[in-house]
């Protein structure tokens, strides 16, 4: 795990409200979002992409990892001139983030395993989650980085 300071940025994509409890059932929505994103080739509809990596943003937390949150799957954009129909924009706030890099492998498996590692970490003096925004960056080399917003 490393720490980075990031400036705010915008992500345009499709969004749902879910919870980790729901995602552990057959009624999970995140997998469906990925299916829709890929099937409908939604990345191609997003204008002014800042990079080629898909980004998944977790925001609007009701409480902590046990509560509901918004999950947005999309692309980082350099400007917000137009938001395609059926999509929304979310801003990832400026702040300090703990960065976890998932092991190589099938994204659905390695991302889940990395989140389990994050949830299981003891609450130490190293960082305290802010629950403002977290995000996953799906790199072109197939690796996934998970950025956890932390309190200063």
Q: Which residues pair with 52 in a beta bridge?
A: none
pLDDT in tens, 24-69: 999 999 999 999 999 999 999 999 999 999 999 999 999 998 999 9
Length of the chain: 152
Structure tokens, 26:
């057959």
| pLDDT at site 123 | 60
Between CA 33 and CA 37 the distance in angstroms is 6
How far, in Å, CA of 76 to CA of 54, rounded? 8
pTM beyond 0.75: yes
16 versus 128: which is more confidently predicted? 16
Res 122: pLDDT: 64
CB atoms within 10 A of CB 10: 19
pLDDT confidence of residue 124: 59
Numbers of helices and strands, H then E, in the chain: 3, 8
Distance CA 21, CA 7 (A): 31
Query: In 3D, which of 125, 120, 8, 107 has the Cα closest to residue 57?
Result: 8
């Amino acid at each position: 795990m490393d720490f980075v300071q990031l400036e705010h940025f915008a992500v345009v994509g499709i969004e749902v409200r879910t919870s980790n409890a729901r995602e552990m059932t057959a009624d999970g929505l995140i997998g469906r979002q990925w299916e829709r994103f890929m099937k409908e080739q939604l990345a191609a509809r997003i204008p002014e992409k800042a990079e080629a990596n898909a980004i998944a943003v977790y925001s609007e937390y009701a409480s902590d990892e046990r509560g509901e949150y918004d999950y947005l799957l999309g692309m980082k954009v350099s400007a917000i001139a137009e938001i395609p129909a059926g999509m929304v924009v979310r801003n990832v706030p400026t702040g300090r983030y703990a960065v976890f890099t998932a092991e190589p492998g099938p994204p659905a498996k390695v991302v889940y395993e990395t989140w389990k590692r994050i949830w299981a970490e003891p609450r130490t003096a190293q960082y305290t989650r802010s629950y403002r925004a977290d995000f996953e960056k799906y790199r072109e080399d197939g690796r996934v980085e998970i950025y956890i917003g932390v309190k200063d």
